[in-house]
Amino acid sequence: MRRELLILWLAIAAVSVVLAALLLVLIRQGAGPQIVRATRQASVSCEALRAGAERMALAAPPSAAQAVLDLALRDMPGTEGGFWRTGPGVVAYAFPTYDGTGIKRDPPSAELERIGSTAQRALDSASLVTDVRPGLREAVVFAACPVDAQPRGLTAWTLVRVPLISPDVINPLILAVSLLLCMVVVSGVWLGRMLGRWRRQSAALQLQLAQSERLATLGRVSAGLAHEIRNPLGTMRMKVENALAAPAEVRDARVAGALESVLAQTERLESLVSSLLALTQPFRVQRERVDLSAFLQGRLQAHAAAAAASGVRLEIALEPALGAITPAPAWFDPVQMARVFDNLLLNALAHTGAGGRIELGAARGAGGAVLQLWVADDGTGVPVELRETLFEAFATARTGGSGLGLALVREILQAHGGRVALADSAHGARIDMELPWPTS
């Protein structure tokens, strides 16, 4: 939802930019800006004509004047011009960019009077002079500048016609686009404020959700802890009561049995408390360079006797490159990871029958960026109802298990910056682990 709203806000921003550009274009199509641009173009063209005439020292040959005009005005779209002399009037004319058919060589008769008056003013002032003839459909911009090299009143002149959009048309368009732009901008601002408010509300809801999850987790842990403590206490109470109620001739034997049971249940409670403390205290990971082959062999030997007693075969599957001496051995806390493999092997042994097989494995993954570890068995597998909560505290299907072993595995992997997951397996169970592999 948040991503979609952000995309919508970006779309509104894009529409605002387009409307602003359209409004700028419409404003520039107004009479004032167009006449200013046309005046600048006419002035520049006139100065180019004067410079060309002075370089060629025009005297009388019309061909020379025509060449100057064609050369100076060919890159000035919509600009026509010529030379004017006191007495004869227009002595040369050109319109190189004329859109009609053929070459236009006749000066505009309707503008001759304004051309002559503008040229005379330029001669009188000895400087560039511009003039504008307004109109309903078009405005005509004139520019004239004296040719200093010619003492007989020669003046260069240019003319630019500016097609105008009627104010009755352009002004409503500008107003409509301005209102639309304002509406879009206001919508974008409103949406931005709503996004900010939703972000704050989302943060508050996430905090409440986290608190609820912590409370729910605390409830599950409390319920599991109460169950795990009550069972040993019930066993000890029953054994003691039976010993006290026994006849005198068998009381000593009953008391001895009760004390042994109390001692066994006390050890179970101590193990439970140690596991809980391990989960609640922060892990201090002390990474070392580890020879994976020797490490896995050590874990296999630690459980070899229990596996032999259960008729289970333990094997190691090691990527060949990891079994050799490499310049970059694995990098993790061997003590903590030994606890991980011990817990996983105990679970696997508990669910694998005689003749079964358990595999400890290691390989490089994700382009060499991670170390993949796993413990796989061909036993009874993980019940469907436990798959989602397998790594949570007190989640267990093993008789006599506390349900803290896999939770401890998850905490140790996370402390290393890694992860653990139950892999899909057709037979038995496979626990996959990933640890970061150092790049230097």
42 closest CA partner among 135, 123, 149, 122: 122
In the chain, where does the domain assigned CATH 3.30.565.10 lie? Answer: 288-436
**Any idea which of 151-155, 248-252, 284-288, 338-342 has the lowest mean pLDDT?**
151-155
228 closest CA partner among 266, 175, 269: 269
Q: How confident is the model at residue 60 (pLDDT cuts 50, 70, 90)?
A: very low
Q: How confident is the model at residue 323, as a pLDDT?
A: 61
Q: How confident is the model at residue 316, as a pLDDT?
A: 92
Is residue 49 within 8 Å of residue 156, measured between CB atoms? yes
Note the pLDDT tens digit of each residue in 389-405.
Answer: 777 766 565 555 556 77
Is pLDDT of 151 > 50? Answer: yes
Q: What is the pLDDT averaged over residues 231-235?
A: 77
Q: How confident is the model at residue 253, as a pLDDT?
A: 82
Q: How far apart are CA 5 and CA 15, in angstroms?
A: 15
In the chain, where does the domain assigned CATH 3.30.450.20 lie? Answer: 31-164
Two structure tokens written together for 273: 């408390």
Q: How confident is the model at residue 34 (pLDDT cuts 50, 70, 90)?
A: confident
Q: How confident is the model at residue 358, as a pLDDT?
A: 94
Is residue 405 within 8 Å of residue 275, measured between CB atoms? yes
| 300 vs 365, residue with greater confidence | 300
Q: How confident is the model at residue 54, as a pLDDT?
A: 78
Q: What is the DSSP string of 152-214?
A: T-EEEEEEEEEE---HHHHHHHHHHHHHHHHHHHHHHHHHHHHHHHHHHHHHHHHHHHHHHHH
**CATH number belonging to the domain at 31-164, selected among 3.20.20.70, 3.90.1150.200, 1.10.3720.10, 3.30.450.20:** 3.30.450.20
Percent of the chain with pLDDT over 70: 78
Q: How confident is the model at residue 327 (pLDDT cuts 50, 70, 90)?
A: very low
Q: What is the pLDDT averaged over residues 322-346?
A: 79
Q: How confident is the model at residue 17 (pLDDT cuts 50, 70, 90)?
A: confident
Q: How confident is the model at residue 388 (pLDDT cuts 50, 70, 90)?
A: confident
Note the pLDDT tens digit of each residue in 243-264.
Answer: 888 887 777 888 888 888 888 7
Percent of the chain with pLDDT over 90: 21
Q: Is the CATH code 3.30.565.10 the one for domain 288-436?
A: yes
Q: How confident is the model at residue 408, as a pLDDT?
A: 83
Two structure tokens written together for 155: 């003046």
**Any idea which of 46-50, 276-280, 350-354 has the lowest mean pLDDT?**
276-280
Q: What is the pLDDT averaged over residues 142-164?
A: 81
Is residue 391 within 8 Å of residue 404, measured between CB atoms? no
Q: How confident is the model at residue 399, as a pLDDT?
A: 52
Q: What is the pLDDT averaged over residues 324-335?
A: 71
Q: How confident is the model at residue 4, as a pLDDT?
A: 67
Q: What is the pLDDT averaged over residues 263-268?
A: 78
pTM: 0.45
Q: How confident is the model at residue 435, as a pLDDT?
A: 92
Is residue 408 within 8 Å of residue 278, measured between CB atoms? yes
Q: How confident is the model at residue 403, as a pLDDT?
A: 64
Is pLDDT of 312 > 90? Answer: yes
The distance from CA 64 to its chain's CA centroid, rounded to whole angstroms, is 66
Helix, strand, coil % over all residues of the chain, rounded to 5: 55, 20, 25
Q: How confident is the model at residue 70, as a pLDDT?
A: 85
Average pLDDT across the chain, whole number: 80
Note the pLDDT tens digit of each residue in 87-123.
Answer: 888 888 989 888 877 778 788 888 899 999 999 999 8
User: Could you give the angle at which helices 248-280 and 167-245 cross, rounded to 10 degrees?
Assistant: 160
